Amino acid sequence: MRFFRRSLVGLFLLALTVGFLAVGGKITYDALQARWSEETGQRPARERVFAVNVVTLQPETITPVLTSFGEVRATRTLQLRAPVAGRVIELAPEVVEGGFVEAGQLLGRLDPADAETALFSARTDLIEAIADQSDAERALELARDELQAARDQEDLRARALARQEDLKSRGVGTEAAVETAELSLSSAKQAVLSRRQAVQQAEARVTQVKTLIERRKIAVSDAERLLAETELFASFSGRLANISVSVGALVGPNEQLGELIDLSDMEVSFRVSTAQYARLLDENGSLLNTPVKIILDVFGTDLEIEGKLVRESAAVSGGTTGRVLFAALSDPKGLRPGDFVTVRVDEPALDRVAQVPASAVDATGSVLVLSENDRLEEAQVSVLRKQGDDVLIRARGLAGQEIVAERSQLLGAGIKVRPLRQDDATTPEEPEMVELDDDRRARLIAFVEQNNRMPAEVRDRLLSRLAEPQVPAEMVQRLESRMGS
């Protein structure tokens, strides 16, 4: 038994010794591994080369395009107002929102009863005044005849007085007869004076009647005008808007019934900065008659219309800057007053400039030029215009050289790069097309057909595109966003 116990103790001590030896070997091996890793040789450092996109500077003559946003306005707009008060008894079938009317077309008629009564009364007063004129002229003629008779009586009395004085001088006549003749002559003169006053009164009466006739004629003309104003006509051809009248409605004088808009003569007003405005002036300080392109984005379909600058605002409104310019449209087909459009104006052409991405020029106006050994060099350029994501620069002595198209913080002078050149004949990306199922296509077509605010030309264009097997995805997305789906 003692032998067995000692054997077990010996085996235990042997196992413990082997375990300590294993742990010591492991520690020694880990130490050697750490030492070996520290004593590895350093590799020689290699220069890092960056891949960059480069573009070639090709100076040419470029026409900068000034981009702004404006609003379409109608050059001729007429407010339809009721000249007189009355009840509307008739309206043309075209007198509806958006209705088209021709120049001179009858739009509506007010109840003419009061105007006709006023005209009849004015004409009756005129006839009465004409009759009074006839009476006054006859009275004047009689007064003149009576004046002539009184003058003849005065001459007779004067001859009788002369005869009595002659008889008296020869001793035949008496003093009493001479005095009687003198009294008769004095009475005749008094009668002449009275008849002259009667003639003057008759002439004044004739003048008053003539004045009254003119006033009555004015009253008749005014009554005829009021009667004519019960009918409302279109001054020019155009479409009606803001119609607020119906048959049977009572309207007051000068009450607005709607608006007549000439859609064939429209313009665009847009605002530019003072610096942009200065670039659109000629040597004499007048506005250039430069071409303008108007773009209306309708559900992904651009409607482009040509125009020209015609005038500028006369004053700057309070709290605003820049200038407001106006461009006349050559053919405003499809546009409506109030449309928000994009305006692109051609500026005077610039010689010896290059168009490069805006990311190629930093804030200080420097670019990175690719040298012969593919290392970068920094050069200064002059930024003249910004054209969307590109800029127009003028770089002296850099014609035909390549510059970095997209700068980053890792790039600088002396860095070696690997240039990536793009093919000049790049094809534009085609718009993404989608196929529509029958239900989706029908919903889109129904939405377009029910949209009354959309111009007819744009509606027809959208319907033709929706009828094709494949439809642009952007147009479908915009239509569905308007539908609320």
CATH number at residue 411: 2.40.420
| pLDDT score at 271 | 92
Number of domains in the chain: 5
**Rounded-to-integer distance, Cα 109 and Cα 89, Å:** 6
Q: Is the pLDDT of residue 424 over 50?
A: no
Same domain, 404 and 440: no
Same domain, 339 and 377: no
Whether 412 is in a domain gets the answer yes
Whether 35 is in a domain gets the answer no
Whether 58 is in a domain gets the answer no
**Given pLDDT bands bounded at 50, 70 and 90, which one contains residue 425?**
very low
Mean pLDDT, rounded, for 155-163: 80
Residue where one domain finishes, among candidates 421, 446, 461: 421
Give the pLDDT confidence of 8-66 residue by residue, as tens digits: 777 777 777 878 788 888 888 778 777 776 655 555 567 778 888 888 888 888 889 89
Q: Whole domain around residue 472: which residue ranges? A: 433-483
Whether 244 is in a domain gets the answer yes
Same domain, 128 and 197: yes
| pLDDT score at 71 | 92
Same domain, 315 and 180: no
| pLDDT score at 344 | 92
Same domain, 149 and 210: yes
**Rounded-to-integer distance, Cα 114 and Cα 226, Å:** 9
Mean pLDDT of the chain, nearest integer: 83
Same domain, 301 and 214: no
**Rounded-to-integer distance, Cα 398 and Cα 404, Å:** 13
Whether 25 is in a domain gets the answer no
Same domain, 327 and 182: no
| pLDDT score at 484 | 61
Rounded (10°) CA dihedral 373, 374, 375, 380: 110
Same domain, 138 and 104: no
**Which residue is it, tokens 């890792």?**
410
Mean pLDDT, rounded, for 142-146: 85
**Which residue is it, tokens 């002229």?**
137
Give yes or no for a contact between 257 and 283, defined as CB atoms under 8 angstroms apart: no
Model pTM score:
0.61
Same domain, 297 and 161: no
Q: Is the pLDDT of residue 219 over 80?
A: yes
| pLDDT score at 343 | 92
| pLDDT score at 399 | 83
**Sequence letter at residue 441:** R
Same domain, 205 and 221: yes
Whether 34 is in a domain gets the answer no
Residue where one domain finishes, among candidates 421, 448, 465: 421
Residue where one domain finishes, among candidates 291, 316, 346: 346
Q: Which residues contact 336 (CB under 8 A, 6 or more apart)?
A: 72, 263, 455
Give the pLDDT confidence of 386-402 residue by residue, as tens digits: 888 888 988 888 888 88
| pLDDT score at 38 | 61
Give yes or no for a contact between 369 and 379, defined as CB atoms under 8 angstroms apart: yes
Whether 287 is in a domain gets the answer yes
Whether 2 is in a domain gets the answer no
| pLDDT score at 120 | 92
Q: Is the pLDDT of residue 366 over 70?
A: yes
| pLDDT score at 397 | 81
Give the pLDDT confidence of 255-314 residue by residue, as tens digits: 889 999 988 888 999 999 988 898 888 888 888 888 899 988 776 667 888 899 988 888
Same domain, 318 and 415: no
Same domain, 146 and 294: no
Q: Is the pLDDT of residue 236 over 50?
A: yes
